[in-house]
Amino acid sequence: MIEHISSLVVMGVAGCGKSSVAQALAARIGGVLIEGDAFHPGANVDKMQRGIPLTDEDRAGWLDRLSEELERVASRGERAVLACSALKQRYRNRLRKATASLGFVFLDLPQTEALRRVAQRESHFMPASLVESQFAALERPDVEPLTLTIDGTRPLVSIVGEATAWCGSAQEESGILLPA
Protein backbone atom coordinates (compact mmCIF):
# COMPACT_ATOMS: atom_id res chain seq x y z
CA MET A 1 0.00 0.00 0.00
CA ILE A 2 1.26 3.47 -0.91
CA GLU A 3 1.09 5.85 2.01
CA HIS A 4 -0.54 9.29 1.94
CA ILE A 5 1.55 11.89 0.09
CA SER A 6 1.34 15.20 1.92
CA SER A 7 3.32 17.31 -0.56
CA LEU A 8 5.50 16.82 -3.63
CA VAL A 9 8.95 17.76 -4.85
CA VAL A 10 9.49 17.80 -8.61
CA MET A 11 13.22 17.15 -8.89
CA GLY A 12 16.06 16.65 -11.33
CA VAL A 13 18.95 18.36 -13.06
CA ALA A 14 18.82 21.76 -14.74
CA GLY A 15 16.69 21.70 -17.85
CA CYS A 16 14.61 18.64 -16.93
CA GLY A 17 11.38 20.66 -16.71
CA LYS A 18 10.97 20.98 -12.93
CA SER A 19 9.35 24.41 -13.00
CA SER A 20 6.94 23.65 -15.85
CA VAL A 21 5.90 20.31 -14.38
CA ALA A 22 5.56 21.67 -10.83
CA GLN A 23 3.43 24.59 -12.03
CA ALA A 24 1.12 22.34 -14.05
CA LEU A 25 0.96 19.70 -11.32
CA ALA A 26 0.15 22.27 -8.62
CA ALA A 27 -2.68 23.62 -10.78
CA ARG A 28 -3.96 20.11 -11.47
CA ILE A 29 -4.06 18.94 -7.84
CA GLY A 30 -4.91 22.28 -6.22
CA GLY A 31 -1.48 22.55 -4.60
CA VAL A 32 0.67 25.52 -3.64
CA LEU A 33 3.58 26.04 -6.05
CA ILE A 34 6.98 26.69 -4.46
CA GLU A 35 9.62 27.67 -7.01
CA GLY A 36 12.91 26.58 -5.46
CA ASP A 37 15.01 28.94 -7.58
CA ALA A 38 13.27 31.92 -5.94
CA PHE A 39 14.70 30.87 -2.56
CA HIS A 40 18.37 30.95 -3.57
CA PRO A 41 20.30 33.75 -1.84
CA GLY A 42 21.96 36.30 -4.10
CA ALA A 43 25.40 34.80 -3.48
CA ASN A 44 24.25 31.44 -4.89
CA VAL A 45 22.72 33.04 -7.96
CA ASP A 46 25.91 35.05 -8.51
CA LYS A 47 28.05 31.90 -8.32
CA MET A 48 25.86 30.06 -10.79
CA GLN A 49 25.79 33.01 -13.20
CA ARG A 50 29.59 32.93 -13.17
CA GLY A 51 29.55 29.19 -13.95
CA ILE A 52 30.67 28.09 -10.49
CA PRO A 53 28.90 24.97 -9.17
CA LEU A 54 27.28 25.28 -5.74
CA THR A 55 28.76 23.34 -2.83
CA ASP A 56 26.87 21.49 -0.13
CA GLU A 57 27.56 24.48 2.13
CA ASP A 58 26.07 26.86 -0.46
CA ARG A 59 22.93 24.75 -0.62
CA ALA A 60 22.48 24.36 3.16
CA GLY A 61 20.72 27.68 3.80
CA TRP A 62 18.69 27.28 0.62
CA LEU A 63 17.47 23.86 1.72
CA ASP A 64 16.63 25.27 5.16
CA ARG A 65 14.48 27.99 3.55
CA LEU A 66 12.74 25.43 1.35
CA SER A 67 12.09 23.19 4.37
CA GLU A 68 10.61 26.15 6.24
CA GLU A 69 8.34 26.92 3.29
CA LEU A 70 7.19 23.29 3.07
CA GLU A 71 6.40 23.40 6.81
CA ARG A 72 4.54 26.71 6.42
CA VAL A 73 2.33 25.38 3.63
CA ALA A 74 1.66 22.13 5.52
CA SER A 75 0.76 24.06 8.69
CA ARG A 76 -2.08 25.70 6.72
CA GLY A 77 -3.37 22.27 5.71
CA GLU A 78 -2.33 22.75 2.10
CA ARG A 79 -0.30 20.55 -0.24
CA ALA A 80 2.95 22.02 -1.57
CA VAL A 81 4.43 21.26 -4.97
CA LEU A 82 8.10 22.26 -4.83
CA ALA A 83 10.32 22.62 -7.90
CA CYS A 84 13.80 21.82 -6.58
CA SER A 85 16.84 20.01 -7.99
CA ALA A 86 17.25 17.90 -4.80
CA LEU A 87 20.23 16.24 -6.46
CA LYS A 88 21.60 14.33 -3.48
CA GLN A 89 19.89 11.91 -1.13
CA ARG A 90 20.94 13.95 1.91
CA TYR A 91 19.21 17.01 0.38
CA ARG A 92 16.03 14.99 -0.13
CA ASN A 93 16.25 13.60 3.40
CA ARG A 94 16.59 17.14 4.72
CA LEU A 95 13.39 18.12 2.87
CA ARG A 96 11.63 14.96 4.13
CA LYS A 97 12.15 16.18 7.70
CA ALA A 98 10.01 19.25 6.93
CA THR A 99 6.77 17.39 6.30
CA ALA A 100 5.62 13.82 6.70
CA SER A 101 5.12 11.64 3.62
CA LEU A 102 6.85 13.92 1.13
CA GLY A 103 6.68 12.49 -2.39
CA PHE A 104 9.32 13.01 -5.09
CA VAL A 105 8.75 13.10 -8.85
CA PHE A 106 12.16 12.61 -10.49
CA LEU A 107 12.32 13.90 -14.05
CA ASP A 108 14.96 11.70 -15.65
CA LEU A 109 16.68 13.26 -18.64
CA PRO A 110 19.77 12.41 -20.72
CA GLN A 111 22.66 14.83 -20.28
CA THR A 112 22.66 15.77 -23.97
CA GLU A 113 19.00 16.81 -23.76
CA ALA A 114 19.57 18.78 -20.55
CA LEU A 115 22.45 20.63 -22.24
CA ARG A 116 20.30 21.41 -25.28
CA ARG A 117 17.42 22.71 -23.17
CA VAL A 118 19.56 24.85 -20.86
CA ALA A 119 21.42 26.35 -23.83
CA GLN A 120 18.06 27.42 -25.31
CA ARG A 121 16.69 29.03 -22.13
CA GLU A 122 16.44 32.77 -21.95
CA SER A 123 16.68 34.89 -18.80
CA HIS A 124 17.72 32.13 -16.40
CA PHE A 125 20.78 32.37 -14.17
CA MET A 126 21.90 28.76 -14.73
CA PRO A 127 24.38 28.47 -17.63
CA ALA A 128 24.74 25.34 -19.74
CA SER A 129 28.31 25.02 -18.45
CA LEU A 130 26.92 23.81 -15.10
CA VAL A 131 24.86 20.93 -16.49
CA GLU A 132 27.80 18.51 -16.29
CA SER A 133 28.33 19.34 -12.60
CA GLN A 134 24.64 18.68 -11.93
CA PHE A 135 24.91 15.20 -13.43
CA ALA A 136 28.11 14.59 -11.44
CA ALA A 137 26.30 15.52 -8.21
CA LEU A 138 23.08 13.62 -9.00
CA GLU A 139 22.32 10.67 -6.75
CA ARG A 140 19.42 8.94 -8.45
CA PRO A 141 16.48 8.32 -6.08
CA ASP A 142 15.62 4.96 -7.64
CA VAL A 143 15.18 3.02 -4.39
CA GLU A 144 13.91 5.81 -2.14
CA PRO A 145 10.38 5.69 -0.72
CA LEU A 146 7.53 7.67 -2.27
CA THR A 147 9.50 8.40 -5.43
CA LEU A 148 8.22 8.28 -8.99
CA THR A 149 10.73 8.37 -11.86
CA ILE A 150 9.40 9.76 -15.14
CA ASP A 151 11.12 10.14 -18.50
CA GLY A 152 11.62 13.91 -18.70
CA THR A 153 11.60 13.87 -22.51
CA ARG A 154 7.88 13.03 -22.56
CA PRO A 155 5.33 15.77 -23.29
CA LEU A 156 4.31 17.93 -20.32
CA VAL A 157 0.70 16.74 -20.37
CA SER A 158 1.86 13.11 -20.24
CA ILE A 159 4.25 13.75 -17.33
CA VAL A 160 1.62 15.65 -15.34
CA GLY A 161 -0.97 12.97 -16.07
CA GLU A 162 1.28 10.18 -14.79
CA ALA A 163 2.31 12.16 -11.69
CA THR A 164 -1.33 13.01 -10.94
CA ALA A 165 -2.38 9.38 -11.34
CA TRP A 166 0.47 8.29 -9.06
CA CYS A 167 -0.53 10.82 -6.40
CA GLY A 168 -4.17 9.90 -6.89
CA SER A 169 -3.51 6.21 -6.34
CA ALA A 170 -1.53 7.05 -3.24
CA GLN A 171 -4.35 9.23 -1.95
CA GLU A 172 -7.04 6.71 -2.88
CA GLU A 173 -5.28 3.88 -1.08
CA SER A 174 -5.01 6.03 2.03
CA GLY A 175 -8.71 6.91 1.83
CA ILE A 176 -8.22 10.50 0.69
CA LEU A 177 -8.99 11.49 -2.89
CA LEU A 178 -7.23 14.31 -4.71
CA PRO A 179 -9.28 16.78 -6.72
CA ALA A 180 -9.12 16.00 -10.45
Do residues 149 and 106 make contact, with C-beta atoms less than 8 angstroms apart?
yes
**Burial, 107: exposed, middle or buried (Cβ in 10 Å; 0-12, 13-18, 19+)?**
buried
List the chain residues with pLDDT less than 70.
1-3, 122-127, 169-180
The pLDDT of residue 129 is: 72
3-state secondary structure 88-137: CHHHHHHHHCCCCCEEEEEEECCHHHHHHHHHHCCCCCCCHHHHHHHHHH
The pLDDT of residue 98 is: 93
Residue 103 CA from chain centroid, whole number: 10
The pLDDT of residue 176 is: 35
Do residues 1 and 145 make contact, with C-beta atoms less than 8 angstroms apart?
no
Kindly list the structural domains of the chain, giving each domain's residue range(s) and its CATH number in brackets, ordered by start.
Answer: 7-173 (3.40.50.300)
The pLDDT of residue 123 is: 67
The pLDDT of residue 126 is: 62
